[in-house]
Amino acid sequence: MERLTLRLAAPLHAIFVHFSIALTSASVALDAAAALLDQRMLAEAGWWTLIATTTIAVGTIATGITSRLRLPMEEGPARAYLRSHMALGPILFGLLLAMTIWRATLWERGEVTPWPYLASGGGLLCVLIVQGYLGGELVYRFGANVRSGFRRLPSEPQPTNPSLYRKPA
Model pLDDT for residues 10-45, shown as the tens digit of each residue: 578 888 999 999 999 999 999 999 999 999 999 999
pLDDT score of 137: 87
24 inside domain: yes
Question: Per the structure, how many domains does the chain have?
Answer: 1
75 inside domain: yes
| Residue 12 vs residue 7, higher pLDDT | 12
Statement: residue 123 has pLDDT above 50: yes
For residue 20, the enclosing domain spans 12-147
158 inside domain: no
Q: For residue 149, give the DSSP letter.
A: G
CA–CA distances in Å: residue 143 to residues 57, 79, 163: 23, 12, 12
25 inside domain: yes
CB under 8 A, 24+ apart: contacts of 32-35: 32/118, 32/121, 34/112, 34/113, 35/112, 35/113, 35/115, 35/118
pLDDT score of 56: 96
Model pLDDT for residues 133-158, shown as the tens digit of each residue: 999 888 888 777 665 555 555 665 66
pTM above 0.75, yes or no: yes
Phi and psi at residue 149, in whole multiples of 5°?
A: -95, 0
